[in-house]
Amino acid sequence: MELRLYDTLTREKRPFVPLDPNNVRMYVCGPTVYDFAHIGNARPVIVFDVLFRLLRHRYGAEHVTYVRNITDVDDKINDRAARDFPGLPLNEAIRKVTEKTASQFHADVTALGCLLPTFEPRATDFVLPRADGKADMVTLIRQLIARGHAYEAGGEVLFDTQSMPDYGALSGRKLDEQLAGARVAVEAHKRNPADFVLWKQSTENEPGWESPWGRGRPGWHIECSAMSAAYLGNVFDIHGGGVDLIFPHHENEIAQSRCAHGTPTMANYWMHNGFLEVEGEKMSKSLGNFFTIHELLADWPGEVLRLTMLKTHYRSPIDWTLKSVEESARTLDDWYRASADVRSGKPAASVLEALADDLNTAQMLAALHGLRNSDTGALAASLRFLGFLSESNAQWEGRRQTASGVDADRVNALIADRAAARARKDFKESDRIRDELAAMGVVLKDGKDAEGKPVTTWEMA
Ligand code: AMP
Ligand code: ZN
């Protein structure tokens, strides 16, 4: 199986060659923890979980290191802490907000069938030099200043974009163009309008750390440069996130990491998932089409949401619609019925090959549909490999029926009554019961079991 991945930096799909097949290293930007994550945030988590699973399959689970950070220092967090816990000292209030939000995030993405990353560092643990000597933000900033890539001005430390000849390569923005288009004198302390903050001062009402540049806090981008280096080294294999992160976040991560370490690359493959829209519109609170993962999980099993996400190729925009979610639910009902109780088999080559082609999940789904009618053992194993079929068929059906508001015990009792009526040839009564069930939205399917005895299964219309 040759794995091929699309790299945003070189704008080509090419064979994936790890730096070290015994330690394949991937970093994905994680959530800023101030509120429930929305369904758009679930997209990178699910997409890179599938890639993580594929890499583990290809190189062995113990040979893949996946780091996804938690951003727990951010002005949105400060605002939320002040609003929700006005009586508490700021640091305590912040800790309450970030811990609660991080555990909600974990519950959400676990329900979506995602594995835990190998490491999940929190930004606030990587601001100051550490006892274990792992990379930290203050040391990185000092290195950047020492190498002539950063300067102090106006109480901030800024990255000097002009000190890096190929700044802008990831997003394809040229510094000259940025200069020409820049508004004049917006931030007079910057040497160049594109220069960005590495460190800024904190007021008393903002979280801060004592640093060589006074009490302050880091800029956003430097976090990921520090945490990726801490766990994956100065150069690693894959860096991922949503397309909105290409500029400025990833562009600036590259600038910081390469200039601090003096390396020609930061990561060999830059992967970006497309954006998620809802019913054809940008998701926004004001449009009323904004959904948290938590809200959707109240209505749908996480596997239904997971499947809905994978129907679209990760690099394309995805239009999240109720129709698509309902269709995924029906597909999973069918797959559960066909294969959830099958324990033999291994993931199908057709499924793995589709994924190996830059995570071609549309082709993967076609392969799964093909297996549905030819090899339920391979279907079951493939689905488990992909993070589905976490329950037995009975559990799944019970859950789906509860979700649809129908009392499964009552349905089963009526089905037993109907079978008894049919056995005594009282077809008037059996038809009456069928109609009663139909009025509840329950559709019956009469068939035979393996021994040829009549069985009746049911599903919601
Ligand atoms: P944030 O908490 O906004 O930094 O986002 C966390 C992750 O979710 C990043 O990788 C973003 O690119 C991604 N993301 C945010 N909104 C969307 C969206 N609507 N569709 C897809 N990905 C998104
Ligand atoms: Zn990042």
Compute the 3-state secondary structure of the chain and give helix, strand, coil in percent, each to the nearest 5.
45, 20, 35
Query: Quick check: CB of 32 below 6 Å from ligand 1?
Result: yes
Q: CA angle, corner 225, sides to 230 and 120, nearest 5?
A: 55
> What secondary structure letter does DSSP report for 286?
T
Which residues are within 8 A (CB) of 440 and not within 5 positions of it... i.e. 6 or more apart?
Answer: 406, 411
- Please state, for a pLDDT cut of 70, what percent of the chain lies above it: 97
Query: Quick check: CB of 271 below 6 Å from ligand 1?
Result: no
CA 259 to chain centre: 29
Query: Quick check: CB of 44 below 6 Å from ligand 1?
Result: yes
What is the per-residue burial (b if ≥16 Cβ within 10 Å, else e) of 162-183? ebbeebbebeebebeeeeeeee
C-alpha of residue 239 to centroid of ligand 2, in Å: 9
pLDDT in tens, 175-190: 766 655 555 555 789 9
For the chain, how big is the Rg over CA atoms in Å? Answer: 26
Contact 44, 6 (CB under 8 A): no
Residues with CB under 5 A from ligand 2 (ion): 29, 224
pLDDT at res. 425: 94
Of all helices (H) and strands (E), which one includes residue 381? Answer: helix 376-385
CA 147 to chain centre: 36
Q: Which residue numbers in the chain have pLDDT < 50?
A: none
C-alpha of residue 220 to centroid of ligand 2, in Å: 8
C-alpha of residue 242 to centroid of ligand 1, in Å: 6
Nearest-CA residue for atom 8 of ligand 1: 41
pLDDT at res. 304: 98
Nearest-CA residue for atom 18 of ligand 1: 40
Query: Quick check: CB of 170 below 6 Å from ligand 1?
Result: no
Query: Quick check: CB of 444 below 6 Å from ligand 1?
Result: no
C-alpha of residue 215 to centroid of ligand 2, in Å: 23
Query: Quick check: CB of 275 below 6 Å from ligand 1?
Result: yes
pLDDT at res. 406: 77
Nearest-CA residue for atom 6 of ligand 1: 31
Ligand 1: which atom is nearest the Cα of residue 28? Answer: 10
Task: Mark out the alpha helices in 162-300 (DSSP H runs).
Answer: 175-181, 220-232, 251-261, 293-299
Nearest-CA residue for atom 12 of ligand 1: 242
Contact 271, 236 (CB under 8 A): no
Question: Which residue type does 142 have?
Answer: R
Three-class SS of 116-166: CCCECCEHHHHCCCCCCCCCCHHHHHHHHHHCCCEEEECCEEEECHHHCCC
Nearest-CA residue for atom 1 of ligand 1: 31
Number of Cβ atoms within 10 Å of the Cβ of 327: 15
Nearest by Cα to 42 from 68, 23, 67: 68
The CA distance from 211 to 128, in Å, is 8
Contact 173, 206 (CB under 8 A): no
* Pairing mode, strands 24-28 and 64-68: parallel
Burial tier of 87 (Cβ tally within 10 Å: 0-12, 13-18, 19+): exposed
**Domains of the chain, with CATH numbers?**
4-273 (3.40.50.620), 277-395 (no CATH), 406-460 (no CATH)
Query: Quick check: CB of 241 below 6 Å from ligand 1?
Result: yes
Ligand 1: which atom is nearest the Cα of residue 31? Answer: 2
Burial tier of 209 (Cβ tally within 10 Å: 0-12, 13-18, 19+): middle
pLDDT at res. 247: 97
Is the model's pTM score more than 0.75? Answer: yes
Nearest-CA residue for atom 15 of ligand 1: 41
Could you tell which of 27, 28, 38, 43 is best to mutate to test the pocket of ligand 1, judged by most ligand atoms within 8 Å of the CB? 43
The CA distance from 315 to 52, in Å, is 17
Query: Quick check: CB of 67 below 6 Å from ligand 1?
Result: no
Contact 351, 363 (CB under 8 A): no
C-alpha of residue 421 to centroid of ligand 2, in Å: 65
Could you tell which of 26, 41, 276 is best to mutate to test the pocket of ligand 1, judged by most ligand atoms within 8 Å of the CB? 41
Of all helices (H) and strands (E), which one includes residue 403? Answer: helix 393-403
The CA distance from 43 to 32, in Å, is 15
Nearest-CA residue for atom 19 of ligand 1: 40
The CA distance from 159 to 190, in Å, is 9
Query: Quick check: CB of 43 below 6 Å from ligand 1?
Result: yes
Q: Which ligand is nearest to the CA of 31?
A: 1
Could you tell which of 38, 244, 276 is best to mutate to test the pocket of ligand 1, judged by most ligand atoms within 8 Å of the CB? 244
- N-term to C-term CA, the chain: 41
pLDDT at res. 285: 85
pLDDT at res. 180: 54
